[in-house]
Amino acid sequence: MTPEAPPHPRTESGHLRRVGVEIEFAAIAPSKAAELVRAHFGGTLEHLSPHRLKVSGSQWGDFTIELDSKYVHPDHKVVEKAGTQDDEWQHLRLELHQRTRRLLGDAVAGIVPTEIVCPPIPWLALNELDALFDALRLQGARDTRDSLLYGFGLHLNPEVASAEASDLLAQLRAYMILAAWLREEIDIDITREVLPHANPFTKEYALKILDPGYAPDLDTLIDDYLVANPSRNRELDLFPLFAYLRPGHPSPLLADELVKPRPTFHYRLPNAQLSQPDWSAVSEWNRWVEVERLAADADLLAERGAAYVEYHRRSSVTQWLNRLKEWMKDS
């Protein structure tokens, strides 16, 4: 499958936009997954801790492969404290801490997913990840449909083409309009619907930003978003982008250690579906491009934004989804 071109394929500085990809799966240990990454992209394998590895210096940059839970990895604060004190008790405490974390990781390895965090790669090269996904599938990787205990996702981190408030607002508006269609197309797994990791935006916030009179500057856009969405667990998480654009922002939400500042959207909605041979990162990217296309067409965005407001003030979500399906067939 070929990645579709977004309406703005390059950043304002002129380089081809990049996309970071994160994928979760079960039944393959981080060590085995890291070997597969190195086999496909080259690089040097480093063991950072028993359940966290790094493939550095690959053709695209550095990959991190780990069990996706902070509780199975050594706490860097404990490690740093032990390293600054030449004290036998501190060294024993560190050894116990590391051993406990390793044993916990061993115990939960069948439930907690393995995650591969890929470096940002040009959007044109996204199909090169499909060879890695095929290898994971052949090695028996299990995805979110394989068990009710699994709620694994694929996250895309598309680099923003522009950081202007008006452009970011257009992207957010387009996403609100198409969110129901995206959920229908992706067929969100029941476990992921129950878990809070990719919650939808509230109708109240959607109506606020789709009001044609809403024209915030960047600081107001950020502040309004934080008030309406006091959690990074949104289907389109803007915490990393806002933390990057406003590193000194006073909100503790943006200072959370789990928020990684970067000039990207953090699109958390897609399922990880490695067991399906026709599924790929490219298929999810191509769905995302529909959001960017709508955002880039000011007249169509205004028209469909007005339709969204009208429907959601007086009609059901089902009627809105039917309208979306009609639009997407015609596009």
pTM: 0.88
CA 251, CA 129: separation in Å to the nearest integer? 36
Q: What is the DSSP string of 71-131?
A: GGS--HHHHHHHHT---HHHHHHHHHHHHHHHHHHHHHTTTSPEEEEPPPEEGGGGGGHHH
CA 187, CA 185: separation in Å to the nearest integer? 5
Task: Tell the burial category of 36 from Cβ atoms under 10 Å away from its Cβ (0-12, 13-18, 19+).
Answer: buried
For the ranges 15-24, 110-119, 285-294, the lowest mean pLDDT is seen at 110-119
Predicted confidence (pLDDT) per residue in 229-258, tens digit:
999 999 999 999 999 999 999 999 999 999
Predicted confidence (pLDDT) per residue in 33-55, tens digit:
999 999 999 999 999 998 999 99
In the predicted structure, residue 225 carries a pLDDT above the cut 70? yes
Phi, psi (degrees; rounded to nearest 5) at 10: -120, 160
CA 72, CA 105: separation in Å to the nearest integer? 5
- Other CB atoms closer than 10 Å to residue 60's CB: what's the count? 19
Domain ranges of the chain: 162-331
Q: Residue 107's pLDDT is what?
A: 66
In the predicted structure, residue 81 carries a pLDDT above the cut 60? no
Q: Residue 183's pLDDT is what?
A: 93
DSSP code at position 202: P
Which two three-digit tokens encode residue 62?
Answer: 């550095």
- Other CB atoms closer than 10 Å to residue 162's CB: what's the count? 13
Predicted confidence (pLDDT) per residue in 118-153, tens digit:
999 999 999 999 999 999 999 999 887 766 667 789
